[in-house]
Amino acid sequence: MNEPQTINVEVAYALPHKQAIIPLQVPAGTTALEAAELSCISERFEGLVLEDARLGIFSKPVAPEQVLKDGDRVEIYRPLIADPKEVRKARAARVKAQQ
């Protein structure tokens, strides 16, 4: 059976006040980073540097070199602004102080 020459994917990025999901038709064999670059999504979001961004497909982290399949959604993740471990510690300390 012949492999398709192109596949349909989406590239998604979100900020608290602005989101974008861009549908694309890309050549089979395209990687996650290549799809993000082809979407031109960095032109819509000031300061978004795709080469530095962490990527995922449907909430699962992937390497930028991950080859996409038809129907994949490439998600571009923002950096964490707080260490999750420190946030949990602070929350536990607040709860303990209230008791």
Q: Is residue 75 part of a domain?
A: yes
Q: Is 81 inside a domain boundary? A: yes
CATH number at residue 24: 3.10.20.90
> Which domain, by its residues, includes 27?
6-98
Local structure of 43: helix, strand or coil? helix
Structural domain includes residue 1: no
Residue 56 lies in a domain: yes
> Could you give the 3-state DSSP secondary structure of residue 75?
strand
Domain annotation covers residue 57: yes
Considering only CA atoms, which of 33, 39, 26 is closest in space to residue 62?
Answer: 33
pTM of the model: 0.78
- Give residue-wise pLDDT tens across range 37-79: 999 999 999 889 999 999 999 999 999 999 999 999 999 998 7
Asked if the structure places residue 65 within a domain, the reply is yes
- If one counts the domains in the chain, the total is 1
